[in-house]
């Protein structure tokens, strides 16, 4: 009953990327619809969690579940625009790592 | 209405593709070859400086292959966001290379150039008339920011490319363009559904990235009919699957269900994805929604200074333990000694690789002591000379800084190279990323046609 799996274990792909120079988008892809539905219905991947993980204001976070791709998309504004002074990830390609440890009841 | 076939050889001009995939694509008798050459992804430097992203050599090699196909099969070749940022210098360099190839190979064709640079006075006028709206930044535009931008372009929609095709251009080299526009223009001109055409372009624009296994440097073919389109990779080792294609709809956007573009959006809430066979996916029911007001996305980049950096490693456990304090102390110390004003003349930024360099303030794992650190220290100043002086002084002071509890006394930093600091030149930032309301989707994208005649002997 109390079994959990991490997203690192159950996701097929975890990626982050710029969506334009001012937004970051995190994509979680699952191996199959069953896993996707299970993760989706768990309700674990929500704005509160992302806000906590990324220290981002909850109102700035947008989460979209896209059934055809069996994937969940999380987007929020970048703290620093791509390439501006103090930015350290021009493509926004390495901001996905905190997703690995998210625990989903399984 | 019958069918139209659109071939995308590669995700970006210069990436190349396997010759066998491209040949397989040509055997399918495509009606048009489209290639996207640009992006804002590599950051504001390229638009600011007016410099290409991929090397010209790689882009020329690709252009030779696509121009040969254009000549042999007599189909249009459309390049969008030429040169990377799509601004005047890189657009014209792309045109120059195309002409050079044509001259060398004795090709004759009608060449269209579509500019996408914006005149500052025109934009100031639009600004005064309240035609420029906030988009994805929280910063309202100002006249000063328009003045400070080195280059300002806007992504063109399909209309200017359609116009060039109506003028019977064989080769269209477009400045900054909405990525899918190079693929969607001909189908829309031929009367195919614009919603499906844009969605098709959105899937094709990164080549075989929408296939499994994904690859940017490989071809993807789309076949449009009246109510649907199919996509398939041309490399037999890849396949298009519902998930791979749907997943690409996800790429680099914040909302895959409503994709905005100049003049409207596509609505994917009813879209169907169907596996036709093992390697082919069919897409239908994507809906085109025209916007009441046609808008263009402006992109501008301004120079914010000059950068000089040093790179060094640290292994000393006492230094690592108090690195944050040491850095602050050094910044304060050198501010007292340098003949420049911190803030006005220069600023110092540190990146502590091994600690929190990649995620910065978003780093969730803060309770962690690394066993070694990679330090990138940078000085950003209003002149290159000041940046050099500050960085030089900074890395010398840090090298010998007598931090509290220090046990080694030879030097705090393991420099990676001699020389130990590097002039990186101009620093830019995106300062315009706003929407411009226009009445005419064509007026700001001048099209010039040139008939190239190189007689075959």
- The model's pLDDT over B427-453, given as tens digits with 9 standing for 90+, comes to 999 999 999 999 999 999 999 999 999
Tell me whether residue A59 is in a domain: yes
What length is written for chain B?
457
Q: Which residues of B touch A17 (CB under 8 A)?
A: 251-252
Q: What is the pLDDT of residues A76-89, one digit of tens each?
A: 999 999 999 999 99
Tell me whether residue B140 is in a domain: no
Task: Judge if B241 and B307 occupy the same domain.
Answer: no
DSSP A70: T
User: Kind of pairing, strands B32-36 and B77-80?
Assistant: parallel
Q: What is the pLDDT of residues B160-199, one digit of tens each?
A: 999 999 999 999 999 999 999 999 999 999 999 999 999 9
Flag whether pLDDT at A69 surpasses 70.
yes
Q: Between chains, do B43 and A94 touch, taking CB under 8 Å as contact?
A: no
CA B352 – CA B348 distance, rounded (Å) = 13
Task: Judge if B98 and B216 occupy the same domain.
Answer: yes
What length is written for chain A?
106
- Of B57, B49, B16, B54, the closest CA to residue B38 belongs to B54
- For B364, the closest of A17, A88, A98 (CB atoms) is A98
Which residue, among A88, A93, A95, would best test binding to B if mutated, counting the most B CBs under 10 Å from its CB?
A: A88
Task: Judge if B197 and B63 occupy the same domain.
Answer: yes
- Domain extent, residue B190, equals 4-116+155-291
- Of A7, A12, A24, A13, the closest CA to residue A92 belongs to A24
Q: Which residues of B touch A61 (CB under 8 A)?
A: none
Q: Average pLDDT in the A70-97 region? A: 96
Tell me whether residue B442 is in a domain: no
Task: Measure B272 CA to nearest chain A CA, in Å.
Answer: 8
Q: How many beta carbons lie within 10 A of that of residue B100, not counting itself?
A: 13
Q: By CA distance, what is B361's nearest residue in A?
A: A55
Tell me whether residue A70 is in a domain: yes
Task: Judge if B187 and B272 occupy the same domain.
Answer: yes
Alpha carbon B88 to its chain's center? 16
Cβ neighbours of residue B373 under 8 Å, at least 6 residues apart?
Answer: B313, B314, B320, B323, B352, B353, B354, B355
The percentage of chain A sitting over the pLDDT mark of 90, rounded to a whole number, equals 95
Task: Judge if B212 and B243 occupy the same domain.
Answer: yes
Task: Measure B347 CA to nearest chain A CA, in Å.
Answer: 10
Task: Judge if B45 and B99 occupy the same domain.
Answer: yes
Tell me whether residue A31 is in a domain: yes
Q: Between chains, do B45 and A83 touch, taking CB under 8 Å as contact?
A: yes
Say if the ipTM goes beyond 0.85. yes
Tell me whether residue B418 is in a domain: yes
Is the separation of the CB atoms in A85 and B343 below 8 Å?
Answer: no
- Domain extent, residue A69, equals 4-80+90-105
Pairs of CB atoms within 8 A across A/B: 127
Q: Which of B237, B260, B291 corresponds to the end of one domain?
A: B291
Distances from the Cα of A15 to the Cαs of A74, A92, B332, B355, in angstroms?
Answer: 10, 9, 39, 21
First to last CA, chain B: 40
Q: Between chains, do B430 and A81 touch, taking CB under 8 Å as contact?
A: yes
Residue B249's pLDDT is 86
Tell me whether residue A76 is in a domain: yes
Task: Judge if B223 and B346 occupy the same domain.
Answer: no
Task: Judge if B312 and B421 occupy the same domain.
Answer: yes
User: E-strand spans in B291-372?
Assistant: 294-314, 346-353
Residue B364's pLDDT is 86
Cβ neighbours of residue B290 under 8 Å, at least 6 residues apart?
Answer: B263, B264
Residue numbers of chain B with a pLDDT score lower than 50 = none
Tell me whether residue B32 is in a domain: yes
Task: Judge if B360 and B315 occupy the same domain.
Answer: yes
Task: Judge if B89 and B25 occupy the same domain.
Answer: yes
The number of folded domains in chain A is 1
Residue B456's pLDDT is 67
Q: What is the pLDDT of residues B306-342, one digit of tens each?
A: 999 999 999 999 999 999 999 999 999 999 999 999 9
Tell me whether residue A85 is in a domain: no
Is the separation of the CB atoms in B299 and B430 below 8 Å?
Answer: yes
Task: Measure B74 CA to nearest chain A CA, in Å.
Answer: 36
Tell me whether residue B352 is in a domain: yes
Task: Judge if B259 and B350 occupy the same domain.
Answer: no
Tell me whether residue B297 is in a domain: no
Task: Judge if B282 and B307 occupy the same domain.
Answer: no
Tell me whether residue A29 is in a domain: yes
pTM equals 0.95
Tell me whether residue A44 is in a domain: yes
Three-state secondary structure call for residue A37: helix
Tell me whether residue B335 is in a domain: yes
B247 burial (CB, 10 Å; 0-12 / 13-18 / 19+) is buried
The number of folded domains in chain B is 2
Residues of A with CB under 8 A from a CB of B: 13, 17-23, 25, 27, 29, 53-56, 62, 64, 66, 68-71, 73, 75, 77, 79-91, 94-95, 97-98
Q: Which of B233, B259, B291 corresponds to the end of one domain?
A: B291
Tell me whether residue B147 is in a domain: no
Q: Which of B258, B291, B324 corresponds to the end of one domain?
A: B291
């Amino acid at each position: 009953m109390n079994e959990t799996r991490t997203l690192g274990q159950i996701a097929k792909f975890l990626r982050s990327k710029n969506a334009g120079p001012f937004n970051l988008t995190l994509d979680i892809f699952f191996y199959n619809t069953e896993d996707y539905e299970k993760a989706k219905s768990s309700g674990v991947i929500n704005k509160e969690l992302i806000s906590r993980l990324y220290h981002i204001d909850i109102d700035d976070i947008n989460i979209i579940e896209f059934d055809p791709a069996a994937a969940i998309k999380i987007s929020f504004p970048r703290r620093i625009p791509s390439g501006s002074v103090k930015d350290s990830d021009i493509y926004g390609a390495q901001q996905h790592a905190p997703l690995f440890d998210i625990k989903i009841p399984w | 209405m019958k069918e139209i076939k659109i071939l995308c050889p590669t995700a970006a001009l210069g990436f190349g593709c396997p010759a066998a995939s491209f040949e397989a694509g040509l055997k399918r008798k495509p009606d048009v070859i489209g290639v996207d050459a640009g992006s804002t992804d590599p950051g504001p430097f390229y638009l600011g400086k007016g410099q290409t992203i991929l090397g010209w050599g790689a882009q020329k090699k690709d252009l030779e292959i696509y121009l040969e196909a254009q000549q042999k099969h007599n189909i249009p070749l459309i390049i969008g966001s030429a040169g990377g940022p799509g601004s005047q210098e890189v657009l014209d360099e792309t045109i120059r290379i195309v002409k050079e190839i044509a001259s060398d190979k004795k090709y004759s064709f009608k060449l269209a150039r579509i500019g996408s640079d914006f005149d500052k006075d025109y934009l100031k006028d639009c600004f005064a008339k309240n035609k420029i709206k906030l988009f994805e930044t929280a910063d309202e535009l100002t006249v000063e920011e328009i003045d400070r931008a080195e280059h300002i372009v806007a992504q063109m929609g399909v209309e200017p490319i359609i116009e060039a095709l109506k003028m019977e251009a064989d080769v269209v080299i477009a400045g900054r363009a909405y990525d899918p526009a190079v693929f969607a223009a001909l189908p829309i001109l031929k009367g195919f559904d614009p919603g499906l055409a844009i969605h098709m372009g959105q899937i094709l624009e990164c080549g075989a990235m929408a296939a499994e296994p994904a690859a940017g440097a490989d071809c993807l073919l789309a076949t449009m009919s009246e109510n649907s389109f199919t996509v398939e990779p041309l490399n037999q080792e890849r396949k298009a699957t519902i998930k791979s294609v749907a997943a690409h709809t996800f790429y680099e956007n914040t909302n895959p269900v409503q994709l905005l573009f100049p003049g409207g959006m596509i609505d994917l809430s009813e879209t169907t994805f169907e596996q036709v066979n093992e390697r082919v996916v069919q897409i239908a029911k994507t809906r085109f929604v025209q916007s009441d007001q046609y808008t263009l996305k402006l992109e501008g980049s301004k120079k914010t200074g000059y950068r000089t950096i040093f790179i060094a490693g640290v292994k000393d456990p006492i230094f690592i333990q108090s690195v944050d304090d040491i850095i602050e102390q050094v910044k304060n110390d050198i501010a007292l000694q340098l003949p420049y004003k911190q803030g006005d003349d220069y600023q110092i930024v540190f990146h502590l690789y091994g600690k929190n360099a990649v995620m910065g303030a978003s780093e969730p794992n803060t309770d962690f002591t690394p066993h070694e650190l990679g330090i990138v220290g940078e000085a950003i100043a209003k002149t290159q000379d000041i940046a050099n002086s500050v960085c030089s002084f900074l890395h010398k002071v840090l090298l010998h800084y007598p931090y509290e509890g220090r046990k080694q006394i030879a030097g705090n930093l393991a420099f990676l190279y001699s020389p130990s600091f590097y002039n990186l030149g101009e620093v830019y930032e995106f300062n315009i990323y706003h929407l411009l309301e226009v009445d005419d989707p064509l007026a700001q994208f001048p099209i010039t046609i040139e008939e190239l005649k190189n007689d075959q002997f």
